[in-house]
Each structure stands twice: as C-alpha cells, then as structure tokens.
Amino acid sequence: MHLRVPRPCWEVGITYDLIIRDGTLVLPTGQTTGDVAVNDGLIAEIGRDIAGNARSEIPATDLHVLPGCIDVHVHLNEPGRADWEGVASGTQALAAGGVTTFCDMPLNAIPPTIDGASFDAKLTAFRDRAQVDYAFWGGLIPGKTNLEELHERGVIGVKAFMASSNTSEFPRADDLTLLEGMEQCAKLGMIVAVHAENAEITDRLSARARTAGATSAAEFLASRPAIAEVEAITRAITLAQATSCSLHIVHVSTGDGIRLVSRAREGGVDVTCETCPQYLAFAAEDLEGLGVSAKCQPPLRSPTDQRALWEFLNEDPNAMIASDHSPAPAEMRLDGDFVNSWGGIAGAQTTLPTLLTRWPSGSIGSDGATRAFASNPARRFGFGDRGQLRVGYRADIVICDRRACRAFQPERSRSRDKSSPFIGRTFDMEVARTIVAGRTVWSDGAIVGRPAGRLVRPERLPC
C-alpha cells in the first residue's frame, strides 16, 4: 500500500507541509499502519515510511488516524440566539469532538434560514468565526420558503418539521406544504430532511400533560410515544415516493423507524436516516436519573430500540449518525420538570467518543465509526472530497487515542451549555488532534490557531 499524487519527474527533495507518522490508518479498504503526507490542504501521499521533508511531523504511533467527522445535524442558533450556543463556542466543541465539517440547521436563527436574505445573514454571522468548515440547511415552512434562492446559494437541502419545532419563527410543515415542497425539491435536486413525529399526537398529548400539571420523566415520555415517530416516517416516505424526492429522516429513535427506511430503500425510494448518540448511550429508563439535560425529541426509547440502533450502525451500509446538538440557556432547563423544559441535548463533542466506547448496549469499531460519521454523510450530502483518507481528498483528519479511558467533566466541555447528559460519563477514547485542510485546530485539549472554517456547498450544486 503506497499511494501518492503524481509529481514531475524532475522534482527532487520533496517537501510536504505535514506528515503524520506511523499511525493506525483507517482507510476505505481497512486498517493499516503507515503515514499520511499533506500538501496545500490535501492528502498528497499515503504509505509506509514516506520519504521527503515536511514542515512539520506528527508522531502517531499507537494512535488511530481517521478521516475528519461530518456532523450533518447541528443547531448553532446564529444570528439571533448566540446566548443559546454561538458559532465560536459551538465550533470549538465540534473540533474537540473530531468534527471537521458540520451542517447547521435553519430553525433557531433569527431570521430562520428560509430564503436568500436569511442565508446571507447567517453566512455573515459565521464568516471568520467558525473553527471548522460548515454547510447550511434551508428551512421548509408554510408560505414563506424561497427554495430557488436557497438552491442558488448552495444549501445541502431543506429541513421541515412534521411536529411543532418549539420556536415560533419556524412553524411545522403541514402535509400540503410538505407535498408541494417535495415536488419542487425533486425538480431542483434538493434533499428534504424531516423531523418525523405526528403533530396531532404529540401536540395534544403534550397539551394534556401541561393542563394536568405533569412534570415527571414518565409523563413526558408518554406524551411522545413511538407510534408518533413511526406514523410520521411512514407518511414522509409515502410523499417522497409520490414526488420522487430525496428524503432524509433525522434523529430516528426506534427500531421500527429504521426498518421502515430500510424497506423503503429496498423498494426504490431515495431515503436515508440518521440516529444520534443519546439514543445509543441511554434508554428511557435512564431519563429520570439523568435529569432534564437528557430530554430530547423524539425522546429516549426502550433497550430493544437501543439495540436495534446499534445493529443499524453495524450492519446497514448507508447508516449515519449525527449529534443533533441543540443546547439552550440554563434558565430553559427547569430542574425536575421534564414536560416544560427545553428538549435538546448538548452533544457536539461526544458523538465520536460514544461510537467508540463499549456501552452495555453495543459499540462499533473505528471502521464503522468512519463509515457512519464520515464517508456516508459525505456521499449522501455531496461532500465528494471529504470523509475518507484518500489521496487527493481534503486533509480533514482526526487522530484518536483508543487507549484513553477518561471521564467527560464540565471543564472539558467546550460548549456554552455544560448540562450535557454525557457529563461524568467515561469514554474509551480521546480526540488527540483535529486537522482541517492540513491545519491543526485542536490538540492536547486546546483550540489551536484562529478560526478558519469555510462555507461548503454540495458538489451537485453550482458554487
């Protein structure tokens, strides 16, 4: 195994920007020991004992070298809600978690990202402030979305809520909005992502719980039953099939939901889905003890569902994971009140550690983590030069210490929101270094250098 970018035959004394030496490389073909050389932000050579000089070298003996992670589901809330989680703190947390590219959701910004002007406002808020590269989702809401303008600017797709979003600026998409939006997105070649929960079920059960003064974890869980997710996924797949639209189901929490997506793909529907680390690490029975920091929507599910999600990641060739990082100010988390507290987990930093930790319910190895959190998201969302350690690809790289065993304490969290349910949990690995386009942004527990993240547009769209 030795691959390199071709060079002129007269070139002597090759100089690289960077060589990573003697690491366990997680390649598309499997794992091997070797070096990775980088020039001009790209992987220039992969092999054993690479010859030549380098401006810097990183020893990686006994460390795993993976492609940088791609998190396609993140809420950083700018412009307009920087006190929830801004670009600066959020992208530092992502870098600390081995993420080199992320996709920001449209709904929590003010204004939400639903047209050209709001896209431009978000880009201004992100420019020169992001530690890692970023792409944007557009939003699909009733009556206001301009899909052509979003397409022209290069969103990776549009997101719709089939349940209430809990932000007044981003109302849920009724069935007609979703149908007509899918028809238009099919013509434009855009993916539609949906938060799949039945609004009639969840809204009315939630209202009933509030009227009754409910606050407990059990009462919250009862207000968002698994059938609400299963029914909405079924409906979304039906609409996508009718319109020939590409569909992505976000944060699937149930085994039945995974099976619906799998069967639809086998039947020719262009549909994918993601799950999230909280559903892998925790079950519904853990919620009361974890507290409101573990409230999310859809909620934590049964151990049976949990095992099904691990099987999905291990066995499905299209499996994906995303953090659904959705923090909020402390005053929105009401201690002991699961019904009225904010529903969202601060998880930007802990997705890769969750994948590589041996939880009682399951785990996957470095190859599986790379597939679910790098190469599959890259392929699905048009990031063709990312997600793999391959010559000519972007030198987006994460170096992990699989020998580490360390608790995740609040002082280690780079997120503004320190209330993550992962606080105090011990992980079987540590992100030693994160590299974006050949430049180290995270090393030895600290951010390195000034923010240099850039906007990424999917390859299928004009830049």
118/21 same-domain check: no
The span from the CA of 253 to the CA of 354, in Å, is 16
**What percent of the chain is modeled with pLDDT above 90?**
91
pLDDT confidence of residue 408: 94
pLDDT value of position 2: 59
Amino acid 5: pLDDT: 54
| Best CA proximity match to 321, nearest among 270, 380, 264 | 380
Q: What confidence score (pLDDT) does residue 4 get? A: 62
Residue 226 lies in a domain: yes
Structure tokens at 82: 């920087």
Query: What one-letter code names the amino acid at 338?
Result: F
Q: Are 85 and 60 in a shared domain?
A: no
* Confidence category of residue 144, pLDDT binned at 50, 70, 90: confident
Q: What is the mean pLDDT of residues 83-101?
A: 96
Residue 305 has pLDDT above 70, yes or no: yes
Question: Is pLDDT above 50 for 11?
Answer: no
- Helix H, strand E, coil C: the string for the chain is CEEECCCCCCCCCCEEEEEEEEEEEEECCEEEEEEEEEECCEEEEEECCCCCEEEEEEECCCCEEEECEEEEEECCCCCCCCCCCCHHHHHHHHHHCCEEEEEECCCCCCCCCCCHHHHHHHHHHHCCCCCCEEEECEECCCCCCCHHHHHHHCCCEEEEECCCCCCCCCCCCCHHHHHHHHHHHHHHCCEEEEECCCHHHHHHHHHHHHHCCCCCHHHHHHHCCHHHHHHHHHHHHHHHHHHCCEEEECCCCCHHHHHHHHHHHHCCCCEEEEECHHHHHCCHHHHHHHCHHHCCCCCCCCHHHHHHHHHHHHHCCCCEECCCECCCCHHHCCCCCCCCCCCCECCCCCHHHHHHCCECCECCCHHHHHHHHHHHHHHHHCCCCCCCCCCCCECCEEEEECCCCEECCHHHCCCCCCCCCCCCCEECCEEEEEEECCEEEEECCEECCCCCCCECCCCCCCC
Quote the CA–CA distance of 185 and 178 in Å, as a whole number.
10
Residue 8: pLDDT over 60: no
Claim to verify: residue 93 and residue 193 sit in the same structural domain: yes
pLDDT for residue 332 is more than 80: yes
Residue-level pLDDT at 82: 86
Closest to 417 in 3D by CA, of 85, 121, 54: 85
168 and 216 share one domain: yes
User: Is residue 457 one of the residues assigned to a domain?
Assistant: no
Task: State residue 350's pLDDT score.
Answer: 97
399 in a domain, yes or no? yes
Token pair recorded at residue 154:
């290069």
| Mean pLDDT of the 231-246 span | 98
Query: Is residue 89 predicted with pLDDT exceeding 50?
Result: yes
Same domain, 159 and 60: no
Tell me the mean pLDDT in the region 199-206: 97
Same domain, 105 and 212: yes
Beta strand pairing call for 406-407 and 397-401:
unpaired
What's the rounded Cα separation, in Å, for the pair 457 and 67?
19
Whether the per-residue pLDDT at 286 is higher than 90: the answer is: yes
Distance CA 358, CA 59 (A): 26
pLDDT in tens, 52-76: 899 999 999 999 999 999 999 999 9
β-pairing, 64-67 vs 69-74, is: unpaired
The tokens 């149930």 sit on which residue?
A: 254
Among 381, 415, 437, the domain boundary falls at 381
- Are both 142 and 47 inside the same structural domain? no
| Same-domain status, 30 and 128 | no
How crowded is residue 33: how many other Cβ atoms within 10 Å of its Cβ? 13
d(C-alpha 30, C-alpha 370), whole Å:
11
pLDDT of residue 177: 98
Measured in degrees and rounded to the nearest 5, phi and psi for residue 341 equal: -70, 160
pLDDT bin (cut points 50, 70, 90) of residue 15 is confident
What's the structural domain count of the chain? Answer: 2
Let me know if residue 357 belongs to a domain.
yes
The verdict on 129 and 162 lying in the same domain is yes
pLDDT at position 38, please? Answer: 98
User: pLDDT category, 9, cuts 50, 70, 90?
Assistant: very low
- Mean pLDDT of the 152-174 span: 96
What average pLDDT does the segment 439-444 reach? 97
For the record, the structure tokens of 129 come out as 């402030």
Residue 462 clears pLDDT 50, i.e. is over it:
no
Residue 458, domain member (yes or no) = no
The answer to whether residue 272 is domain-embedded is: yes
**Average pLDDT along the chain:** 95
Q: Is residue 13's pLDDT more than 70?
A: no
Q: How far apart are CA 107 and CA 98, in angstroms?
A: 25
For residues 192 and 297, membership in a common domain is answered with yes
Tallying the residues shown for the chain, one arrives at: 463
CATH number at residue 236: 3.20.20.140
**Considering 381, 403, 437, which residue would you say is the last residue of a domain?**
381
Are 404 and 347 part of one and the same domain? Answer: no
State residue 223's pLDDT score.
98
Give the up-direction half-sphere exposure of residue 444: CA atoms within 13 A in the CB hemisphere. Answer: 2
Q: Convert the pLDDT of each residue in 386-429 to its tens digit.
A: 999 999 999 999 999 999 888 999 999 999 888 899 999 999 99
Q: Are 42 and 80 in a shared domain?
A: no
State the residue for tokens 């390199």: 4
Give me the CATH number covering residue 15.
2.30.40.10
Per-residue confidence band for 461, with pLDDT thresholds at 50, 70 and 90: very low
The contacts of residue 461 (CB under 8 Å, 6+ apart) are 151, 154, 189, 382
Query: Rounded to 5 degrees, what angle do the CA atoms 209, 260, 239 make?
Result: 85
What confidence tier does 453 reach under pLDDT thresholds 50, 70, 90? very high
Q: What is the pLDDT of residue 463?
A: 28
Average pLDDT, integer, range 259-279: 98
Where residue 10 falls among pLDDT bands split at 50, 70, 90? very low
Range of the structural domain that residue 105 is part of: 69-381
- Residue 387 inside a domain? The answer is no
Domain boundary among 337, 353, 381: 381
Domain contains 293: yes
